[in-house]
Amino acid sequence: MRAPAALPSRSHVGMSTRWCIDVNAQVPRVWWYRFRTTFGRRWGGYLALVVLVGAVGGLAMGALAGARRTQSSFPAYRASTHPSDLEIGGAQSYDPSLIARITRLPHITRVESYASVNELPLGPNGVPPAGLTSGDANGTGSINGLLLDMDRATVTSGRMPDPARPDEVIAAAADVRHFGLHVGQVIPVGFYTNDQINSPEFPSAAVPAHRRLDVRLVGIAVFNNALIQDDSDATSHLGLVFTPALTNQLLGCCANSIVTGIQVDRPSDIALVNGELLRLGVPSFEPGAVLVPKAELAIRPEAIALGVFGGIAALAVLLIAAQVIGRQFQADTRDLEILRALGAGPAMTACGGLIGVLAAVAIGALLAVVVAVALSPLTPFGPVRPVEPRSGVAFDSTVLALGALVLILALGAVALVVAYHGAPDRAASRARRGTMRGSSLARSAASAGLPAPAVTGIRFALEAGEGRTAVPVRSAILGATLATVVLTATLTFGASLHTLVSHPALYGWNWDVELAAGQGTGAGDIPAQLATQLLNHDPDVAAWAGVYFGGLDIDGQVVPVLGGSPNAAVAPPLLTGRTVEAPDEIVLGATTLARLHTRVGDSVEARNGTDPATLLRVVGTATMPAIGSAAGGPHLEMGVGALVAYQLIPPGTRNPFDNPVTGPNAIFVRFRPGSDRAAALASVQRIAQATSNVPNFGVSLVSVQRPAEIVNYRSMGATPVILGTGLALGAVSALALTLIASVRRRRRDLALLKALGFTRRQLAAVVAWQASVTVVLGGCVGAVLGIALGRSLWDVFADEIHVVARSTVPGLSIALVAIGALVLANLVAGIPGRIAAGTPTALVLRAE
């Protein structure tokens, strides 16, 4: 028997301890040595990691920064126009003494006004061209700078006019198109008195212009209150915009309807100034409180699309970079086994390749910042882009700094986990615990008698392999799943958006046509008795309801209201609760409900300026239509406004022109299902003609009035699908790279198959089956998850913009995507298939 080994002496223990310390102290030097000596054959992998993190990570950060820039684009644009904080409208004449009193109020920095000017372009004969009406005689004249200085127009073509020149004008693009004008054109203009435009013969040669002047159109401009509009807003035009030099000459004869803008010292002073104005008997409203939320809601889809795109791109870079990092460490497997056999410790073997990977990640993150900044001139998206005051390169320090930090920390953590997991001692431990289990699906395919290439391709798609030939099959399936989720969710969201845009009832227009007094503006009265008789006897009319427009002070806030009868047959669609059933009840738009800090079931106090305050119980919320009187001030729009009993609106507001034959301002008409729409419209048109009279300025038929959000959503076109397709193509590219890496890793397996008699075509078929199985598995799971994600995103989005949430699943499109994905996967498999077919059998012979 051997004698037991002697216990080490204390000196031996000390030497061993010092040796361990010395060895541990050498670890960083060994890492650096290995990095320098292996860089020559690994620089390609490091470069690939740098390019991948820089390109895709930069795309992700650029998209997220672009989303923030898009969402904030309208407030930034409006701030660049020196906007008014408060606005006063409704005055019929300019009162310099009142303006002087307003200017002297505390906390006010500037007061400027403009007037509506009675003007029309004249033809060569000095008469307005045929087709123009009295509604076109509404030019705008800046009295002392409003629209030229405060609420400054943004010129998109030409230049701003010289305020001292009476013969220079600008106009909005819509008015330029309406009147057929162009920059540089000299326009003969006629100015008319208020009595002239009220003449029944106006406009015609029988009413000669009070004054004539040739003006030159020097610029086409955008105005901050007209960039993002409802259809009901777009019906009113500024016409030609004249300079103060001319406007002040017209105030005594040809101007009316004065609008005054006020700027205050600080936003916190707005409420104080508003109170002072009320004491002067001059009510005002805050235009930014209406314009900014409307614009932000209208722009939100582009911002959401960019944000989602950036988030998924960030996820993609993390997944794909993790695969590249894993391959870098797997390439070290043989070297690490040798080092371990020579006595290297776990720290040395686990972290030996970290220097190169972490350096590549850090450089890639810096490159991503550069790429994101380079992409910034492509944003913002949406209607603000043509007038963006911050156009060009943008540097979003928050997104760029956090994005770079997240890339470095996340991919650094991935590298540490992969290095720890792939250390030789842990790999050996896993190998001792058990052998790799084969795929049950591959065994089932073999039992079913599928051809050998099919069985082998299924096995390659589902079995990762071991050691140096291991393949990231889970990552490939995850990539296919991610691609399908992205595209399916995008298609579902896009189809739901199309359903919203094409179904007006979902955004508040819950009727077929509107009869509106005041030539469609709602400013006037429709004879109630005659309208009731005609509509009740029309066979094409299923239901109708008369409504009034007005505004109420509800809990201290001015809210546009729609007044109707309790339990009206036609009303805006409800989101929660029930409709108005009694005069002491109210239904609010969801945005208004939030602004009032109240809930369904609570009570609010309403004031109409003439009667005592009324306590109203909130019984529901509704999707409000973009509709209201053109008399000025806020009107109902999606999520904003209230539905009340019409008696709450003062008689003077319901009948602004003291029409002796009273009735509703407008009537909502719903046709019978299955009726001939053309015949029904013709019949209602006859009712409009029959109820028209001089005091109500004529009753007109008004078709769907789209809110600004819907107008902007229509402009998105195929943007969601394009973004989704781009992400899907990125995932397909990742699948192609995975297949190529799989073929390279399994060269020995492929060579063995070739030695056993597989033809080149069969080897290519193996890779095609591998790609098909990966896509089918990822597609089946991804389609289900994508539909669920798309519907969930749509429900959240619909709730945010306060419309009826009706999601649509485009079954045919998703089926076509599935077929296309399978075809594309087989096309993508062509290159690795050719590589597989060309695998030399000598590889196996050398290994043997």
Please give, one letter per residue, the 3-state secondary structure of 657-680.
Answer: CCCCCCCCCEEEEEECCCCCHHHH
φ, ψ for residue 133, nearest 5 deg? -125, 180
Confidence band for 629, pLDDT divided at 50, 70 and 90: low
Choose among 357, 338, 353, 354: nearest CA to 424.
Answer: 338
**What's the distance, Cα to Cα, between the start and end of the chain in Å?**
43
Q: How far is CA 631 from CA 236, 274, 356, 520, 559, in A?
A: 11, 21, 70, 12, 15
Distance, CA of 663 to CA of 780 (rounded, Å): 60
- Residue 13 structure tokens: 């223990």
**pLDDT per residue over 661-677, tens digit each?**
888 999 999 999 989 99
Range from 128-142, 468-482, 516-530 carrying the lowest mean pLDDT: 468-482
Mean pLDDT of the chain: 81
Asked if residue 241 has pLDDT above 90, the reply is yes
Q: Which residues contact 139 (CB under 8 A, 6 or more apart)?
A: 116, 117, 118, 119, 189, 238, 239, 240, 241, 242
**pLDDT per residue over 387-406, tens digit each?**
888 778 888 999 999 999 99
**Do the Cβ atoms of 190 and 254 come closer than 8 Å?**
no
Task: Give me the pLDDT at residue 104, please.
Answer: 92
Task: Give me the pLDDT at residue 221, please.
Answer: 94
Task: Give me the pLDDT at residue 151, please.
Answer: 95
**pLDDT per residue over 706-764, tens digit each?**
887 787 776 665 555 665 565 566 556 665 666 666 666 666 777 777 777 788 788 78
Please return the burial class of 597, using the count of CB atoms within 10 Å of its CB with bins 0-12, 13-18 and 19+.
exposed
Q: How confident is the model over 812-820, as a mean pLDDT? A: 84
**Do the Cβ atoms of 59 and 380 come closer than 8 Å?**
no
Task: Give me the pLDDT at residue 774, please.
Answer: 81
pTM of the predicted protein model: 0.73
Choose among 328, 348, 329: nearest CA to 339.
Answer: 348
**Do the Cβ atoms of 810 and 491 come closer than 8 Å?**
yes
Q: How confident is the model over 157-174, as a mean pLDDT? A: 94
Type and span of the H or E element at 302: helix 287-330
- Residue 760 structure tokens: 């080149």
Confidence band for 265, pLDDT divided at 50, 70 and 90: very high
Range from 243-247, 537-541, 654-658 carrying the lowest mean pLDDT: 654-658
Distance, CA of 493 to CA of 720 (rounded, Å): 8
**DSSP-assigned letter for residue 736:** H
Strands (E), 432-581: 513-516, 541-554, 557-564, 574-577
User: Cα 325 to chain center, whole Å?
Assistant: 35
Distance, CA of 123 to CA of 121 (rounded, Å): 7
Sequence letter at residue 580:
V
Choose among 523, 541, 739: nearest CA to 629.
Answer: 523
Pairing assessment for the beta strands 86-91 and 255-264 based on DSSP bridges: antiparallel
pLDDT above 90 covers what percent of the chain? 31
Confidence band for 21, pLDDT divided at 50, 70 and 90: very low
Asked if residue 434 has pLDDT above 50, the reply is no
Distance, CA of 215 to CA of 171 (rounded, Å): 12
Kindly give the residue spans of alpha helices, DSSP state H, lying in 130-253: 173-179, 194-197, 231-234, 244-250
- Residue 730 structure tokens: 């990125």
Asked if residue 625 has pLDDT above 80, the reply is yes
CA torsion, ordered 430, 435, 439, 442, to nearest 10 deg: 140
- Residue 329 structure tokens: 């460490």
Task: Give me the pLDDT at residue 177, please.
Answer: 85
- Can you say whether the dihedral through the CA atoms of 825, 828, 832, 837 is positive or negative? positive
Range from 17-31, 221-235, 779-793, 805-819 carrying the lowest mean pLDDT: 17-31
- Residue 411 structure tokens: 């991919």
Q: How confident is the model over 334-347, as a mean pLDDT? A: 56
Task: Give me the pLDDT at residue 15, please.
Answer: 39
Find out whether the peptide bond into 106 is cis, omega within 30 degrees of 0: no
Rg of the chain taking only CA atoms, in angstroms: 36
Task: Give me the pLDDT at residue 738, please.
Answer: 61
**pLDDT per residue over 572-604, tens digit each?**
999 999 999 999 999 999 889 988 999 999 999
Question: Half-sphere exposure of residue 769, counting CA atoms within 13 Å on the CB side?
Answer: 20
Confidence band for 278, pLDDT divided at 50, 70 and 90: confident
Range from 92-106, 247-261, 282-296, 814-828 carrying the lowest mean pLDDT: 814-828
Confidence band for 816, pLDDT divided at 50, 70 and 90: confident
Residue with structure tokens 């034959």?
661
Strands (E), 25-98: 86-91
Phi-psi region of 697 (alpha: psi -120 to 50; beta: other; left: phi over 0): left
**DSSP-assigned letter for residue 395:** -
* Three-state DSSP state, 643: strand
Helices (H) and strands (E) in the chain, counts: 28, 20
**Do the Cβ atoms of 160 and 151 come closer than 8 Å?**
no
**pLDDT per residue over 182-192, tens digit each?**
999 999 999 99
The angle formed by the CA atoms of residues 223, 229 and 234, to the nearest 5 degrees, is 85
Of residues 194 and 821, which shows the higher confidence score?
194
Choose among 343, 505, 321: nearest CA to 417.
Answer: 321
Q: How far is CA 723 from CA 283, 304, 312, 386, 483, in A?
A: 47, 12, 11, 21, 12
**Do the Cβ atoms of 629 and 657 come closer than 8 Å?**
no
* Three-state DSSP state, 201: coil
**Full DSSP string of 737-773:** HHHHHHHHHTHHHHHHHHHTT--HHHHHHHHHHHHHH
**Do the Cβ atoms of 630 and 236 come closer than 8 Å?**
yes
**Do the Cβ atoms of 684 and 513 come closer than 8 Å?**
yes
Distance, CA of 789 to CA of 809 (rounded, Å): 11
Q: How confident is the model over 30-36, as a mean pLDDT? A: 60
Q: Which residues contact 305 (CB under 8 A, 6 or more apart)?
A: 716, 719, 720, 723
Q: How confident is the model over 110-123, as a mean pLDDT? A: 92
